[in-house]
Chain A
Amino acid sequence: MMAYLGRRLGQAALLLVVVSMIGFAILHLAPGGPMAQYAMGSNMSQEDLDRIAAQLGLDRPLPVQYAEWFWRMLGGNWGTSYRGGQPVLHVIGSHLGATLELMLTATLIAVVLGCWIGILGAIRRYSVFDYLATIGAMVALSIPTFWFGLVAIFIFSVELGWMPAGNRQTIGDGSLLDMLHHLIMPALVLALVETAIWSRFMRSSMLDVVNQDYIRTARAKGLPEWRVLSDHAFRNALLPMITVAGLQLPTLLGGALVTETVFTWPGMGRLFLDSIEYRDYPVVMGILMFSASLVLIGNLLADMLYAVADPRIRLG
């Protein structure tokens, strides 16, 4: 197990280097640059822009810039934001809490609700509930999240006045109740799509399992139906869901670009969008490396959990 873990970590480190090289090259070779934001205001001349670019080290050859960035990153210095002048790790850290709060809540809702709908749909295949769940999932997956978000804001904030139209909390009110009040709508909107995904995967996985011989055996030996489902069907149906969960990890911390924008949620998604817009290379690279690490960790965890959940799988 330890040898496997070591090998996978080694592969992951190598992959991160490759990702960083490709990301750095694409980002810097793409047209435009961080100086463009100043070009239209403040009476800054080309000379000013060139001077500032040189002070930021942007006038040096790309391999030199990359080598310096990579060396500093190895030492724990992920660079400084061009826009705000703050350390990249601090910038990422200051947006992580909001994303985690939103994504964890949404994922929790989605997992519980999605699994329940999926299991029920599989058990009562072709029932009215199953058809409704299928149609509902298709609708949720087909319509963009921002539309759901805007409609929810229009109905519950503008027309009914029950919910705040976005923001993480009322300024000056840091109470838990206030935070929950702000969290409900974005979390539900985000959970809507995720619930659809989880329910479809769960239904499919459950359908595979309920027709297996061991389920028939369990029933034949006289186990009550709920035990057949919970002890035999559900546990086995969860195996493919580990992959889904592993893939969800990066999105859990990577943020939801659209939902965060619509609900004015100060998370990673918006940070990423803003950093791209301003070509804040150090922050974009920081988020890229952070997300890549999460993908690799998510996959590694999924593989390891397989071994835990399924005794037939041996890692080594």
Chain B
Amino acid sequence: MIRDDASSRWHRILAPTRRGLFAIGGAAALAIGPARAQGTHRPPEKPKGQVIVGLSQEPTVFHPLMPGIEVDQGVWWNLFSTLWHIDPDGQFVPDLAAEVPTQANGGISEDGLLWKVKLRRDAKWHDGTPFTAEDVKFSLELINNPDFRVRNRVGHSFVKDIAVTAPDEIQWRMETAYAPYLSILSLTFMVPKHLLSGAADPNNTPFQNAPVGTGPFRWGSRTPGDNIQLTANTAYHGKGPYLERVVFKYIPDLTVMYTQFRTGQIDYTGLSGISPNFAREAQALRGRKVHVNPTASVESIAPNLEAGALADKAVREALYMGMNKKALIDALYYGLPTPTESFLPRQSWAINPDLPKHEYNPAKANEMLDAAGWKRGSGGIREKGGVRLEFTNSTTVGNPIREQAQQLLMQDWRAIGAGMRIQNMPAAVIWGEFWQQSKFNSVMVAVNYMLGSDPDVTPRFSSKAIPAKGGRGQNTFQFQNAEVDELLLKGATTFDQEKRKEIYARIQQIIREEMTILPIFQQALVEGTKDNLIGFRSNINTSSNCWNIREWYWA
């Protein structure tokens, strides 16, 4: 928390560097928040009060296994439970399971093929029906039901021979050993068998608009286009909930959302948070706390590795060297995000800290291109073998910061004889076939490459995951590397974390050397809460920072 008087003093001291201001502000918020929570304030005995969460998109999908987006997942975290979840430190924490299965505790067999999960006995659905292993079996089977419109079956498709061995015990066999499945299950919410098994059409059930879960809050009401209200589940099996009611309020415009945060109409700016241009002002607001939290997404220039000049590794290296990353981050993003060299967030256990650091050196970039045979042609644009060093860059229209970043890059790259043309499109267009079928030259995009907290990037970098070549995955860069393929397979089937760390360190090294993506920064999210709201904890390992509202309460 930074109050007005303190802020003015800090402002004088820290004004020259905005990053410094936010770093200290964020640290202060982190430091003061828990201190207050643990020190002078205790959670109430009974759920008390309400919290209003502002969201810039409207949650509309309430079946947690159907196709939903990030904003929907924020609601799911409060209505439903997973077998286990991952805390902000990357540790697995049992939820509906009594313990997290590992090879050490015998939950996962030595060959990684047999999984046994012991469940807790005190969990109940919101309608009072006890939660049992049958519900887990039903949920996993529903995911693999060909008639069901499931979000995806990554990892789940390996699950075979599910058997309920006791009301609180379940086991299954994996078709192949697959370590990331632990992480996938940490994001898989269980659904009630007793309410869904009788449905003639699993895609069309009353449950979708009146969901029943085992989570800390029950479904209350929904005013379409406006808000969703959840009420405390006093029979919740875990810690909390301490709030009587949670309201998810849809506020489509970020400026309006910030205004309502300022006027006190919302208690927490969720999802997109506070625009970077308001972050500084927000820190000076009385009674508000500003949190600068890293996210798992990495902002990068994603080249199509089979598109003209971008197919040449030397070109990609030169473009990276000719990119003034620092100027871009400082000028447009107020110095908030952290520059990165990897596709993984620096908080990941698998991060490789020894990747070569980016160097902005246009002169060296020019030399590299000269050496690679790219000679200056008409208009100062380089050419080689009749191919001009020209390409398009696309991003979503209506994102002013990215549009300005493109302008900066265009200037940077023009200086080394590379011509970049901007070709932006609406989200529904760019992320459709254009992206999926690799019809782009390059895009500016933020991608979360992880599977929960798992660094398995098979869907992103495996040569069998190129959709444009009939592959199953999201390797829209069209990256192909035999060593990476081999390492990905090894990483996914190895359970020992230390061994996996080595594998993914090497993968990061290759991706960096090959310049498969031109990484710019790890994204940072500026979020605001009222300063007497206790318990808010950012979690890079979940899809939403609404993951632990059950632990929030008012001082």
Contact = CB atoms under 8 A, between A and B. Distances in A.
A56 B427 CA distance: 20
Nearest to A42: B151
Given A43-B152, A46-B467, A48-B153, A37 B451 contact: no
A47 B474 CA distance: 10
B447 A40 contact: yes
B385 interface: no
Contacts of B436: 39, 46, 49
A52 B69 contact: no
B430 A45 contact: no
Contacts of A222: none
A19 B128 CA distance: 50
A173 to B, nearest CB: 12
A166 B251 CA distance: 9
Nearest to A172: B50
A11 to B, nearest CB: 34
A33 B208 contact: no
B274 to A, nearest CB: 15
B432 A31 contact: yes
A270 B225 contact: yes
Interface in B437-490: 437, 445, 447-448, 451, 459, 465, 467, 471-474
A183 B474 CA distance: 47
Contacts of B256: 153, 165-166, 261-264
B122 interface: no
Contacts of B429: 31-32, 36
Contacts of B209: 84-86
Contacts of A98: 225-226
Interface stretch (B21-29, B60-68, B318-326): B60-68
Interface string B227-243: 10100000000000000
A39 B252 contact: no
A35 B436 CA distance: 10
A258 to B, nearest CB: 10
A227 interface: no
Contact of B263 (A84, A165, A279): A165
Interface residues of B, number: 65
B253 interface: yes
A277 interface: yes
Interface string A23-64: 000000001111111111111111111001001100000000
A178 to B, nearest CB: 13
B435 A39 contact: yes
Interface stretch (A104-112, A156-164, A307-315): A156-164
A55 B61 CA distance: 17
A253 interface: no
B435 A44 contact: no
A150 interface: yes
Nearest to B149: A55
A52 B227 CA distance: 27
A167 interface: yes
A165 B447 contact: no
Interface string A72-107: 000000001101111000010011001000000000
Contacts of B225: 94-95, 98, 266-267, 270-271, 274
Instruction: Identify the interface centre among A35, A43, A165: most chain B CB within 10 Å of its CB.
Output: A43
Contact of A39 (B153, B265, B431, B471): B431
A168 B69 CA distance: 26
A290 interface: no
Contact of A266 (B67, B69, B250, B472): B250
A66 interface: no
A165 B151 contact: no
B380 interface: no
A31 B434 CA distance: 9
A267 B50 CA distance: 25
Contact of A45 (B427, B437, B467): B467
A165 B253 CA distance: 12
Instruction: Identify the interface centre among A38, A46, A85: most chain B CB within 10 Å of its CB.
Output: A46
Contacts of A262: 253, 256
Contacts of B474: 39, 43-46
Contacts of B149: 52, 55-56
A35 B432 contact: yes
Contact of A171 (B249, B259, B425, B451): B249
A165 B247 CA distance: 17
29 contacts: A31-B432, A36-B432, A39-B435, A40-B431, A40-B445, A41-B70, A42-B67, A43-B152, A43-B459, A43-B474, A45-B472, A46-B472, A84-B60, A85-B203, A85-B204, A94-B223, A153-B256, A158-B263, A164-B263, A165-B256, A166-B265, A171-B52, A171-B249, A261-B252, A262-B253, A264-B252, A266-B226, A273-B252, A277-B427
Nearest 6 interchain pairs by C-beta: A266-B225, A46-B467, A32-B428, A32-B429, A266-B226, A84-B60
Interface of B: 50, 52, 58, 60-61, 63, 66-70, 149, 151-154, 203-204, 208-209, 223-227, 229, 245, 247, 249-253, 255-256, 259-260, 262-263, 265, 425-437, 445, 447-448, 451, 459, 465, 467, 471-474, 543
